[in-house]
């Protein structure tokens, strides 16, 4: 169904570019965020509001695998008229440590019309294994690399990248885990741009995942993301060019950022 594919293209397409680089050019030395941060987004399919998403850190730390961890959740759900076509309410979450930013535990809860799924993934870096527990299915175990990240911890790791080290058209090689499998990805750094938001204009970095040939997206660099060129490194905007129309994700609100954010009128 095109409507469902469009919604997933902006949620998953955007998130899938957040896996860690196997050879990062540069990384900031401390987190660009604190517990309690929330960033809110609105999703549009053409002229229609299709859904909303929130990327949030809980307001306290957790102790997982003998490590102090952030707890993060990315939620997405369809809204308005779009919800009458496809009812989506998905949660992706992770506990990742505060020093190496590796996922120690990940989870997801998927609700898409009648389809339901709940899953937890536990990471063991001593054996380089991930144990996956899916409700209603036997446990699975897969091999992982020491620097792998899931979708959610990868999003926050991406915000640690020092994009000032990159040149236009530089390619970042990625390694991620999704749907019980590990993948190699590539991301293209496209440079800098001033972007207009509902809060005003702001300097940004632009990145784009290199997509394999498919029947959903069109054009060169069909998915683009604009990240704030400041100390917060916030993803402000995502655009996905589909075979039929386009899907946009725009930041519409934020709470408890670590650093002040400055927009120009």
Mean of the pLDDT values across residues 131-149? 90
| Residue 190, pLDDT score | 93
- Burial, 91: exposed, middle or buried (Cβ in 10 Å; 0-12, 13-18, 19+)? middle
Q: CB under 8 Å to 110, separation ≥6 — which residues?
A: 90, 116, 117, 118
Q: How far apart are CA 216 and CA 222, in angstroms?
A: 10
Q: Give the pTM.
A: 0.86
Q: What percent of the chain has pLDDT over 90?
A: 48
pLDDT band of 185, cuts 50, 70, 90: confident
**Mean pLDDT, to the nearest integer, of 179-197?**
87
160 vs 40: which has the higher pLDDT: 40
Q: How far is CA 24 from CA 122, 157, 164, 171, in A?
A: 25, 11, 12, 10
Q: Report domain extents, the chain.
A: 2-252
Separation between Cα atoms, residue 182 and residue 148, nearest integer Å: 9
Q: Which of 13-17, 53-57, 92-96, 177-181 bottoms out in mean pLDDT, i.e. has the lowest?
A: 13-17
Q: Which residue has the higher pLDDT, 151 or 39?
A: 39
pLDDT attached to residue 28: 52
Average pLDDT of every residue of the chain: 84
What is the dotted CATH code of the domain comprising 2-252?
Answer: 2.40.360
Confidence grade of residue 160 (pLDDT, cut at 50, 70, 90): confident
Secondary structure in 3-state letters for the chain:
CHHHHHHHHHHHHHHHHHCEECCCCCECCCCCCCCCCEEEEEEEECCEEEEEEEEEECCCCEEECCEEEEEEEEEEEECHHHHHHCCEEEEEEEEEECCCCCEEEEEEEEEECCEEEEEEEEEECCCCEEEEEECCCCCEEEECCCCCECHHHHHHHHCCECHHHCCCCCEEEEEEEECCEEEEEEEEEEEEEEEEECCEEEEEEEEEECCCCCCCECCCCCEEEEEECCCCCCEEEEEEEECCCEEEEEEEEEECCCCCCCCEC
Give the lowest-confidence range in 45-54, 97-106, 168-177: 168-177
User: Does pLDDT of 158 surpass 60?
Assistant: yes
Q: Which whole number is the average pLDDT over 163-173?
A: 85
Output the pLDDT for position 165: 87
Q: What is the pLDDT of residues 232-262, one digit of tens each?
A: 999 999 988 776 777 889 999 999 999 999 9
Crossing angle for the helix pair 2-15 and 151-158, to the nearest 10 degrees: 50
> Tokens for 60?
């306290």
* Nearest residue to 156 via CA among 224, 220, 69, 261: 69
Q: What is the Cα 37 distance to its own chain's centre? A: 15
Instruction: Give the model's confidence band at 29: pLDDT under 50 very low, under 70 low, under 90 confident, else very high.
Output: low
Give residue 124's pLDDT. 96
Does pLDDT of 203 surpass 90? yes
Cβ atoms of 89 and 114 closer than 8 Å = no
Q: What is the pLDDT of residue 258?
A: 95
pLDDT over threshold 80, residue 107: yes
- In the chain, % of residues over pLDDT 70: 85
Count the residues in the chain: 265
The pLDDT of residue 154? 82
């Amino acid at each position: 169904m095109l409507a469902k594919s469009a919604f997933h293209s902006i949620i998953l397409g955007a998130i899938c570019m957040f896996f860690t680089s196997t050879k990062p050019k540069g990384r900031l030395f401390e987190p660009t965020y604190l517990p309690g941060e929330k960033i809110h987004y609105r999703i549009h399919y053409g002229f229609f509001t299709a859904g909303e998403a929130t990327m949030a850190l809980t307001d306290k730390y957790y102790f997982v695998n003998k490590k102090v961890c952030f707890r993060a959740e990315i939620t997405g759900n369809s809204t308005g008229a779009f919800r009458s076509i496809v009812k989506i309410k998905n949660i992706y979450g992770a506990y990742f440590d505060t020093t190496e930013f590796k996922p120690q535990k990940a989870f997801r809860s998927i609700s898409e019309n009648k389809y339901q799924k709940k899953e937890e993934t536990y990471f063991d870096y001593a054996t380089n294994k991930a144990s996956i527990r899916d409700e209603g299915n036997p446990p699975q175990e897969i091999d992982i690399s020491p620097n792998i990240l899931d979708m959610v911890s990868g999003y926050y790791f991406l915000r640690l990248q020092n994009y000032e080290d990159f040149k236009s058209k530089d390619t970042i090689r990625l390694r991620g885990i999704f749907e019980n499998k590990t993948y190699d990805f590539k991301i293209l750094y496209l440079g800098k741009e001033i972007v207009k938001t509902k809060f005003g204009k702001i300097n940004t970095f632009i990145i784009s995942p290199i997509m394999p040939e498919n029947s959903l997206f069109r054009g060169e660099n069909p998915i683009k993301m604009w990240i704030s060129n400041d100390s917060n490194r916030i993803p402000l905007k995502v655009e996905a060019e589909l075979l039929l129309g386009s899907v946009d994700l725009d930041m519409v609100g934020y709470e408890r950022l670590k650093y002040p954010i400055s927009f120009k009128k």
